[in-house]
Each structure stands twice: as C-alpha cells, then as structure tokens.
Chains A and B, each alone.
Chain A
Amino acid sequence: MAKQKIDITLQIWRQENPQSQGSFQHYSLSGISTGLSFLEMLDVLNENLTLNGQEPVAFDHDCREGICGMCGAVVNGRPHGPEPGTTLCQLHMRHFKDGDHLVIEPFRARPFPIERDLVIDRGSLDQLIQAGGYVSVNTGGTPEANTIAIPRETAEQAMDAAACIGCGACVASCPNGSAMLFAGAKVSQLALLPQGHPEGRERALNMVKRMDELGFGNCGNERECEASCPKRISIRHIARLNREFIKAALFSE
C-alpha cells in the first residue's frame, strides 16, 4: 500500500499528576505518513512540542509489538482505537484519513488512577494475580515435563486464555469497571491445565473476592471487554470462571 501524508487534529487529555485536575488540549499535526504507527505519530507530536518549548505528552509503551501490554489509551471512545484485535502500538496511521479528529484519553477506571497524561497505574492487576493467579510450585522438585499428557486441544485453549497481555482495556471498556475478563483468562488457563487443578477452588474464590476489594465492578454481561481486547480473549473464559466459582462456593465447607 502506498504511503500518504495526512493532516490530523488531536484532542488529548493532559494531567500534570495524580492530584491535579486534567483537561483536554488541542493540537494539529500535518504531513503525517500513513506508514507510521499510532505511537510513532505521538512521537512526532512530542518532538514538535519539545522543540516548541512545551512538555510532551506522557504515554506508556515499551515493546511496540503488541505483547508487553504497556501501551493503551482510549481513541475516539475505543480502548486501543478503532481496529479490533489491535493494541495501540500496532495501530497504524493508514487506518485514518486526512482531516480526521482524534480524541485521545487515558484508560479510565476506579482501580487505575492516572499518573500523568495518558499514563495510569495498573498495579491493581498485580494485586489481583497475587490472590491466586499462579500454580504454587517451588523451583526444584517438579516432575519430568512429559509425565502428564495434555490433549493438544486443551493446551491450545489454555494458550488462548494465557494470551492476555494485562493491558487493562477490558476494565476500561466495561461500564462497571469489571476485571472479569482479566481474572477469567487466568483462572481459565489454570482450570484447563491439570497443573492448576489442586488449587482451582481457592483460586476462583480468592480472585473474585480480591476483585471486589480492589474496587473493580461486577460483570454485567455487556461484552464490551471482549470487543476491546487486543488479544481477542473470549468471554467464554468469564463463563468458566463463573463455573469454577460456583463449584468452589458450593463445595466449600
């Protein structure tokens, strides 16, 4: 596809620090190559701002390959922008046209306080994993890797769930700020694999409880999370979490 140059206008959330009040600021950019990624477009904006004596827009990013889960902003109302199954860093400017107006703001959710501009604190997701999103094995005495056969299909389904990058788009897109897709993906991965079974019950109970404590909302079956997930994690995993949770609640003493 031949590259073009386009002119765009931007409306970006600027906020000095967690305590301060933020507001939208307007910028315009001309001659942006459609070969650039969205974040490279922001890089260009930031170079311009810097050279004009202004402070650049703070935004998180690292791998720029859609895997670290560090990037993310809401673009024209959609977390990670308009392309389904795409992180913000993988979004390319060829999906926009000359004259477009882009409203860019941080992921917003109660458990994700804003640090600055588009940078948020997603530490709550770590705390949620700490409630049980792992298998309790110590390094050392583990059995030979091929001791337990796992059907290929099961391993593939576990991998589908494990593909979560922890970006938090699901939480940001949910009207209730629920982390059910995030938690469901982890619970589901470990519920599918035999290694996760011994702790399955506790895991489901503890993670759901922790989610409440951390201020995430309840799942209202809005399915926005699935639609905004850059890794296309299916809400089937929420259903599996619910099953695990009910099983655990029914059989707990």
Chain B
Amino acid sequence: MKLDASIPDGPLAEKWDRHIFAGRIISPANRRKYRVIVVGTGLAGSAAAATLAELGYDVQVFTMHDTPRRAHSIAAQGGINAAKNYANDGDSIFRLFYDTIKGGDFRAREANVYRLAQISNRIIDHCVAQGVPFAREYGGGLANRSFGGAQVSRTFYARGQTGQQLLLGAYGALMRQARLGRVTIHPRQEMLDLVTEDNRARGIVCRDMRTGAITSHAGHVVVLATGGYGNVYYLSTNAMSSNVTAAWRAHRKGALFANPCFVQIHPTCIPVHDEQQCKLTLMSESLRNDGRVWVPKNAGDTRPPAQIPESERDYYLENKYPGFGNLVPRDVASRNAKQQCDQNKGVGEAGLAVYLDFADAVKRDGLPAILRKYGNLFQMYEKITAHDPAVQPMMIYPAVHYSMGGLWVDYNLMSTLPGLYVLGEANFSDHGANRLGASALMQGLADGYFILPNTIGRYLADCPLPLPDTTASLFTAETKKAESFITKLLAVKGKRTTGDIHRQLGRLLWDECGLLRNGAGLGRALAEIPAIREEFWKNVLVPGTGMQLNQSLERAGRLADYLEFAELMVRDALDREESCGCHLREENQTEDNEARRDDANFCHVSAWEYRGEATTPVRHREPLVFDNVTPSQRSYR
C-alpha cells in the first residue's frame, strides 16, 4: 500500500492557501443534504461540529459524556500557542513551525506543522471573539507566558484553566447551532464500531449508556475526534473514560494506525501516592517557568527539603542544560527525573519524586504575583497532598500524558478509509515523536475550526447523495456483532475485576514500553500481552446486564480494546530501533546518555495495517521529507 499524504505542491508558506483554492466547495444550498457524524466533543469535535453546522451541513454529534462540555479537553491547564509575537521577542510563524517540528524530533510532516503555525493566530482571534477570558496585561492586551521547548513567550492562557475556557467557547458555539436546529446532539452514546461499505466509512454503531440500546447511524462522512489512548497504561493524566475504542474499531475496519508507540510522559505530575489509585494528576508544565527542579546532591538524603542547604542541592536541569534550564522539553525533563530517582536521589515516601521549588520566585516576585499565575494549581496540589507549595516545594514525577500516535491521516485529515476523518489527539498528524506544551489545544482547534471545514468538500463533492439505509443488513449485521460482543463479555463471569487486569497491563507497559525501552523488554511485553488478553477473556468479572446503565461493562469493553491495542503499541516500539522524541531506546544513546535518533533508517511514519486477530499486522512507511528545515540532533544543552 502506498501512503499518499496528499501534500500540496508549492512553497511551504503557500501550500495551504493553494490547497483550499484547488479544493471543491459544496454549494451552500446543497450542504444540508450532507450528513456529517462527529464522534467526540472535545476541542476538536466541538469546533468541527459547530463550524460545519455554521456552514450548513447536517451535523450529528455523538459523545459518551452526559454533555459535550465534559470532554477531556476541559482539563488542559497551561495554555495554547500562537505565533502572534505580541511579546516582540522574535517569534514568527516560521519559528513556531520550527519549534514544533524540532520538539517533535523531526518525525512530523513539514506541511502539516507549518499549516498549524499559520492557523494558530486565527484561533486566538476566534476564541477572543467568543468571549474566552484570556489573561491580560495591565494595558488590556492579551498576556503571554513561555512554555517548555521554546525560548519565546507565545502561550495564551486563562489562569490554569485554558482547556476549560477554550472548550466552553467551542461548546457555546455548538449549543448555538443546536438551538438553531443544525446540530443534533446525542449524549451518553458510546461508539462501538464503524460501519464501512466498499472500504468507505458509512456510519457508526453506538450503545446508549443509559439503557444499553444498540443503534446505528448513517452519514456521508464520519469524523472521529475521540481523543488519546494514554489510559492503556492504566495510570495516566487522562480522564478516566478516555479510550482507544473508537479509533481501534476503525483500525480494525481498515484505517491504518500510525506511530502507536509515540506516547508522551509528562514530567510534572503528582507522584503516585496509593496502591488503589486509578488516576494521576498533572501539574501544569507552566510551573516550570518559575519553579526550580532539584534533588539532594547526595544519594539517600532523606532530610526534609528545608533542612537541605543550597550547597547540597542539585538543580540538575539548570546545571546540565544551561540554555533552557527548567524549560527543557518534556522528554528531557522526564528522563532526567527518572534517572535522578534511579540514582537513589529521589525524594518523597517512595523516593519516586523530585522537587519543584517556588521559593526563589516568591522571593523575586512576591507571593501574590505567583498566586495569580498558579493559584489554582497550588490549590489543586494542596487538596491532593495536603501540602502548600507556597510554603514547601512541590514533589513531582513523570506520568503518561499524551498520545502523539493515532489514526493515520493525510493532509486533509482523512484516514486511509475514505469518508473517515480523524481530528485532535485521535490522529497522529502534527506532533511527531513528542508534543510541545500548549500545542495540543492549538492542534485540536485548528483541525476543528479551520482545517476540516476546508477539506471536507473534496470528499463530499464526489460522494453519492443517498444515505445508506440503517435497517439494511449492512447496519443490522454490525449492531448484532456489537450485541454479541457485549453478551460475550458478560458471559465470562470470572473472578477478576476489570480494574485488576487493567492494572496488570498498565504496570507491564510502564516498565517495558515507557520512558526507557529496550529490545529485550519489549520482546517480553509482546509475549506477555496475549497472555493477559487470554486471562481477561477467561477470567474477567462483569456484573449486571447489557440493558442497563452498567459502568463495569463500559470499562470492560474499553479494556478489551486496550488489550489488543497494547500489542500493536509494543510491536511498533520494538520495530523503531532508534531513540526519538519521548523515548530513549537504550541500545541507541550517545556517550553522555542522550537520545540518538537514526534518520538513515527511521525518518518515517510507521502506519500499521490490521490483518485479523490471528495475523501479524503489516507496517507501511510514509517517508518524511524535510525541504525547509534540516533535521538536527536535538540539543538543549
């Protein structure tokens, strides 16, 4: 299979405009004849659904939440990037493009990332017009802060609740369209499968999470904006219901899955505090603007932080990377934290944490200024740990946070299944092997507000108008399959809960397919996952019935998909014999233990094709070509 990314010709800066111009436009009078199914109402899904409805399409929105506003995007804290250069510090579209592609360790497409940087400014314009209360300077202009991996100040924020405010903006737009009758919202519907015909997306199968009723829905186009798969590790910063189900089911129906092993481990999370914990909490990376990371110089020093004098502290990021200091990209910060703890310099009860200290910032700027920036984060930290970061340093440790991998899409954001578009974290498109802070919100909104509405016409213009009949066998066969899958889950009646088995999978993945990876460990994981999967299907205990609100059943279904997906993720990691982005492949490192990328052999996207349960998936490659930047070995020293 040849992967055609459909990247337009022409100079980088003109590609997107040319592409829009060369595209097809559906006439306004015809748009309402086209039905677009949007699954997911995070930033990407809500933005797409609202904008497509504004344009006049018939939009049907599905979300597994009780209301669109609950999507996991709501939890994003730190901010959103844009190349406005309000700080007059040398920023530009090209610099945002460069930082993003370099941050991604040269594993993303130039054309996509450049477009993202171009669109970034319009996102801010639009969100301000919606009434998003971004932080402001005294003069009334928008305020910016800096974020990891960048030396300019380009991050827009609304306290520590940027995702919430952006999502509520998109949600408002969606509610407006709902009131106008252009969008129909189907809450508490979990998509269980994609319906395809002749290799085209034709609709979806959903389960009503209140009644258990399984229904199918036809559309001319299906848009997946279903978020990331970080919860495959069990413990992550993702919302509890984040899942791979929608993407995985589409994969099984023919959509290629790209770079599944690219997972971001975030350096600033609250350390694990209890065996029975099921969720990790992120502390926004913006804290690294003012917080200083340190550990005791001497291994095994268990004195409380206040008793460790300056001279016996190791501000290891500032010392090792003087240019970026505490603002090194996430992978570098995470890896170094782990390495410090591995050297027995970790702090906290289990020695699995490092300090993030605000004492100097408070001395410099005063407590009120620091609280204005981080007040809600300090509060959140205190709620969980009962310690006040204004008084004693925070403790942080890396945690799984974001999935760069996702369904493969071309420049139009269409998957390898015609008619299936994938937006936001669910696709693989823009972040390469590592996502820079404040760029996911930008990408989700770019995809939804500006890209899909301008590319969807290319497909629709040639799409036959009659919608398939959902009472025909194409659809009824799929709903039957979904029903029997549920019956099968309920019938196991084993002895272990879903949580128990998921924890086992998560531990395995964290150990063997986490920050540091090696061939032997990955091989072990690859052998072990099928065994856990078998255990699941023999021994899982799902109480209740299918025809009721049954949260245990929901979780079990998601885990069943994670158990298949995990194998692909590990296979992809094993296949990628280079260190890149977030991951250090232990066989591939420099003398001073930094990541060594292998451009000669791995400058490509790995896109996997499903070949059935018992068959090894096939890897396809999309080579990455760099005409405008020269891939350099990343160095933040």
Measured CB to CB, the closest approach of chain B to A187, in angstroms, equals 11
Q: Which residue of B lies closest to A89 (CB)?
A: B279
Which of chain B's residues 165-204 have a Cβ closer than 8 Å to chain A? Answer: 165, 168, 171-173, 175-176, 178-179, 185, 187
Beta-carbon contact of A51 and B541 below 8 Å = yes
Contacts of B449 in A (CB 8 A): 139
Any chain B CB within 8 A of the CB of A50?
Answer: yes
Q: Is B591 an interface residue (CB 8 A)?
A: no
Stretch at the interface among A55-63, A96-104, A212-220: A55-63
Count residues on chain B whose CB falls below 8 Å from chain A CBs. 81
Residues from chain B with Cβ under 8 Å of A250 in the complex: none
Known A-B contacts A65-B75, A193-B131; the reply to A139 vs B51 at CB < 8 A is yes
Query: Is A139 in contact with B274, judged by CB distance below 8 angstroms?
Result: no
B residues less than 8 Å from A134 (CB atoms): 130-131, 172-173, 175-176
Q: Does B615 contact A (CB under 8 A)?
A: no
Q: Which residue of B lies closest to A157 (CB)?
A: B133
Is the beta-carbon distance between B239 and A152 smaller than 8 angstroms?
Answer: no
Question: Given A47-B499, A123-B187, A126-B175, A94–B386 Cβ distance below 8 Å?
Answer: yes
Chain A residues with CB under 8 A of B635: none
B552 CB within 8 Å of chain A: yes
- The answer to whether A125 and B141 touch across the interface, beta carbons within 8 angstroms, is no
Q: Is the CB of A43 within 8 A of B499?
A: yes
Q: How far is the CA of A36 from the CA of B385 in the complex (A)?
A: 10
- CB within 8 Å: A-B pair count: 210
With beta carbons under 8 angstroms apart, the residue of A40, A142, A156, A190 that contacts B125 is A142
Given contacts A62-B241, A90-B384, A116-B549, contact A122 B140 (CB under 8 A): no
Complex alpha-carbon distance, A55 and B551, angstroms: 10
**Do A139 and B278 contact each other (CB < 8 Å), given the known contacts A50-B541, A55-B544, A195-B129?**
no
Contact B172 A135 (CB under 8 A): yes
Contact of B543 with A152 in the complex, beta carbons under 8 Å? no
Query: Given that A62-B72, A116-B549 are contacting pairs, would A92 and B384 also be in contact in the complex, using a CB cutoff of 8 Å?
Result: yes
B584-620 Cβ-contact flags toward A at 8 Å (1 or 0): 0000000000000000000000000000000000000
What per-residue 1/0 map shows which CB atoms of A131-149 lie under 8 Å from chain B?
A: 1011111111011111011
Partner of A68, one of B127, B176, B239, B276: B239
In the complex, residue of chain B having the shortest beta-carbon distance to the beta carbon of A16: B548
What per-residue 1/0 map shows which CB atoms of A30-51 lie under 8 Å from chain B? 0001011100100110110111
Give A179 to B24 CA distance when docked, in angstroms: 46
Q: Which residue of B lies closest to A128 (CB)?
A: B175
One of B62-70, B250-258, B560-568 at the interface: B62-70
* Minimum distance in angstroms from B272 CB to a CB of chain A: 10
- Which residues of A (188-205) have their CB < 8 Å from a CB of B? 189-190, 193, 195-196
In Å, the complex CA distance between A40 and B273 comes to 12
| B636 lies within 8 A of chain A by Cβ | no
Contacting A at CB under 8 A, from B528-554, are 541, 543-544, 548-552
Set A37, A44, A64, A159: member contacting B158, Cβ < 8 A: A159
Question: Which 9 A-B residue pairs are closest in the complex by CB-CB distance?
Answer: A149-B140, A134-B172, A142-B129, A158-B133, A130-B179, A159-B133, A116-B549, A145-B128, A139-B51
Q: What residues of chain B have their CB less than 8 Å away from a CB belonging to chain A?
A: 47, 50-51, 54, 65-70, 72, 74-75, 84, 86, 121-122, 124-131, 133-142, 158-159, 161, 164-165, 168, 171-173, 175-176, 178-179, 185, 187, 210, 239-241, 273-274, 276-279, 281-282, 380, 383-384, 386, 449-450, 453, 495, 497, 499-500, 541, 543-544, 548-552
List 18 interface pairs A-B (beta carbons < 8 Å), by A numbering.
A36-B274, A40-B277, A50-B543, A54-B543, A61-B240, A68-B72, A116-B548, A123-B67, A126-B67, A126-B68, A130-B178, A133-B172, A135-B130, A140-B126, A142-B126, A145-B125, A150-B136, A150-B140
